[in-house]
Chain A
Amino acid sequence: MRTRREPRSRKRIAARRRPAARVLKTVRVPAPVEPVFLRAQQHVARYFRDKTEDPEVGTISISGERYILLRAASMSVEFFDLVTSLYEDKGPQAARGVASNLLFDLAHAIGKADARAFQQRLGLKDPIEKLSAGPIHFSYSGWAFVDIFPESRPSADENYYLIYDHPFSFESDAWLKRGRSSELPVCVMNAGYSSGWCEESFGLPLVAVEIECLAAGGKHCRFIMAPPSRIEEHLARLGGDGSSRASRRRTARPSTPFSIPEFFQRKRLEDELRQSHESLERRVEERTAELTRTNELLRREVADRKRAEEVRDEFLSVAAHELKTPMTSLRGFAQVLLGQLDRNEMPDPQRLSHALRAIDRQSEKLAVLVSQLLDISRLEAGRLVLERTATDVVPIVESVVANARARTSRHPVEVHAPATLSAVVDPLRLEQVLTNLVDNAIKYSPDGGAIRVEAGHSKGHLRLVVADRGIGVPPEHRGRIFDRFYQAHPEQRLGGMGLGLYISRQIVDLHGGRMEAEFPPTGGTRVIVTLPPEPVTT
């Protein structure tokens, strides 16, 4: 075990040179693994011994493999300078990042490829054997001498850890030879190549970080190598209080700031950028779809509202027309009579009676229209309240029929009812419903025809039927006859506001009953009302 690790001079290493077979001279490693490295040294030495240079055809070959020679400074200090000048506008930090990434990626790729080619050529299988050729190959190819510390643990798992020096790194040499120094470690290619070789040897992603660099004011070019997931832990240990005795003794705390390289960081950034683009596009698409949906909803809402407004406008127009018509007669008769009085004439009793009856009839029409409007207003506010009481329905039916007979001579009105028929209903509202149904029967039988009113029980329910032989309702309109403002035959100008059936249906619904319309093939309309005998609590 060595107790001190000072960079050895080239002379000292040269002095230690002994026969290659017995002495390890192209690398320094912990004693237990020396035999493996000795074997590797033999293989590598043999490999490099077979070297031919033929400048006349521009080739350098080693054991049949072509090599190229690169001037070391062009791949270190001069490369950094070039990139710095190219990235002048982005600042030295950005330039350094670009240069380091390029050099690291390139060296890491070369390291991996060299390891694979060399290990295949020699038929090496064991990871340590595979690793062992690397540092020696490294020395022979002029990158750096490798001095691996005893606390290194090159195991083929996440505990893999190497700590080593490059006493004669081609990179720091290039800086120092020009009298230049750097704020950050400069041996980027060395870190890349070594980690590439070891990664290939162990089948494990590895990264190397230079924690101290001669070109950055350090005493050594010192590196650690570990899986990317563990490297920060090691750096923290070396930099903090948790350092082992060995590393406290031998390893100076990293004296310069360092950065952890990432092989093909560019690809990760590109992927992230692309993913962010894709996710942005997806979000834009989602938002667009959402906006389209919202837009469509709004469009429909606007259309619905417009339709509702049109219906309301039409209703107001119809309602005004319906209210003005009886009002015109009322005022007309009053003015005709007043006109006579003004002329000091006395209207004859027959005319007086005729006019007053007309006034009475028109007032009643107005009253019905006004109560319909009030009912609509109550229904819309949910304030139409029934006053239910035990009622004999038959007198109500008879009274409605009697009133109807008084209004029409062209429509014989038949009644079919038992002597009594009791139910718990709102008698006034039930009368309103029946009156409306009979009025409709008359209204929609403009050419006359019998009207039949039935009252009875069916399956314990009160059943009322009003049937006419009138014009009926065209099949396409039948689904809407109970709608508010709906008139089955607006073209016939039969009058009304389109509220009667709607209000009647609502009153029946409030009783917990049903109102249905049938259209027999023989013509006309049958409206059937079914009411529960007792109030149904809903």
Chain B
Amino acid sequence: MTRPRVLLVDDDEGICDFVRMALHDAGFDVATAQNGRVALELLPSFGPCLILLDMRMPQMDGWQFSRAYRASPGPHVPIVVVTAARDAEQSAAEIHADAHLAKPFRVADLIQIVRRLSTESPRS
């Protein structure tokens, strides 16, 4: 049985660490990228059904990543903005994300959102 795959893009090692654990326990395979550029490289081979995206990252931030991702050929999977900035909701709106999670968040909320969005069919 193949597990659904989630790509987490975040520069904080601690966050990458526990999100990987939590989603693994919930039945997902997780790959992590410490910035947008690494994420773009990983995407074709990894083929996630969902992207968890931090906004403030070195080298390529969330805004730059989402522009590049949307410009790439589809299909495109849902994006969840996960940020510690005050304006998580606004950032999500700006990049047309499907959901947002403000740091610090409840693990249960993370799993619920990931489960909901990963069952949706990919869009073009």
Contacts and interface: CB of A to CB of B under 8 A. Distances in A.
Interface residues of A, number: 27
B70 to A, nearest CB: 21
Given A328-B103, A332-B104, A493-B56, A362 B25 contact: no
A317 interface: yes
A321 B17 contact: no
Nearest to B18: A332
Interface stretch (B7-15, B91-99, B112-120): B7-15
B19 interface: yes
Contacts of A329: 12, 14-15, 17-18
Contact of B25 (A326, A328, A333, A339): A339
A321 B56 contact: yes
Contact of A493 (B19, B58, B106): B58
Given A317-B85, A320-B84, A325 B12 contact: yes
Interface in A347-403: 351, 354-355, 358, 361-362
B17 A335 contact: no
A493 B104 contact: no
Contacts, number: 77
Interface in A301-334: 317, 320-321, 324-333
A317 B86 contact: yes
A446 B58 contact: yes
A255 interface: no
B84 A328 contact: yes
B22 A324 contact: no
B85 A331 contact: no
A358 B14 contact: yes
Contacts of A355: 18, 21
A351 B14 CA distance: 13
B68 interface: no
A336 B25 contact: yes
A493 B14 CA distance: 16
Interface string B13-55: 0110111011001000000000000000000000000000000
Contacts of A493: 11, 56-58, 61
A325 B58 contact: no
A326 B12 CA distance: 9
Given A325-B103, A494-B58, A332 B86 contact: no
Interface string A56-73: 000000000000000000
Contacts of B107: 331-332, 335-336, 339
Contacts of B11: 493
Given A324-B84, A492-B58, A335 B106 contact: yes
Interface in B50-91: 56-59, 61, 84-86
Contacts of A340: 25
A324 B104 contact: yes
B118 to A, nearest CB: 19
Contacts of B106: 331, 335
Contacts of A351: 21
Contact of A325 (B15, B59, B86): B15
Contact of A339 (B22, B58, B103): B22
Given A493-B58, A493-B61, A327 B14 contact: no
B59 A335 contact: no
Nearest to B16: A329
Contacts of A331: 104, 106-107
A360 to B, nearest CB: 11
Nearest to B103: A328
Contact of A328 (B15, B56, B61, B85): B15
A336 B21 contact: yes
Interface of A: 317, 320-321, 324-333, 335-336, 339-340, 351, 354-355, 358, 361-362, 446, 492-494
22 contacts: A320-B84, A321-B85, A325-B12, A326-B14, A327-B103, A328-B15, A328-B84, A328-B104, A329-B15, A331-B106, A332-B104, A332-B107, A333-B21, A335-B22, A335-B108, A336-B25, A336-B107, A339-B25, A358-B14, A361-B14, A362-B14, A492-B58
Closest 9 CB pairs of A and B: A329-B14, A332-B18, A324-B84, A328-B104, A335-B107, A328-B103, A493-B58, A492-B58, A321-B84
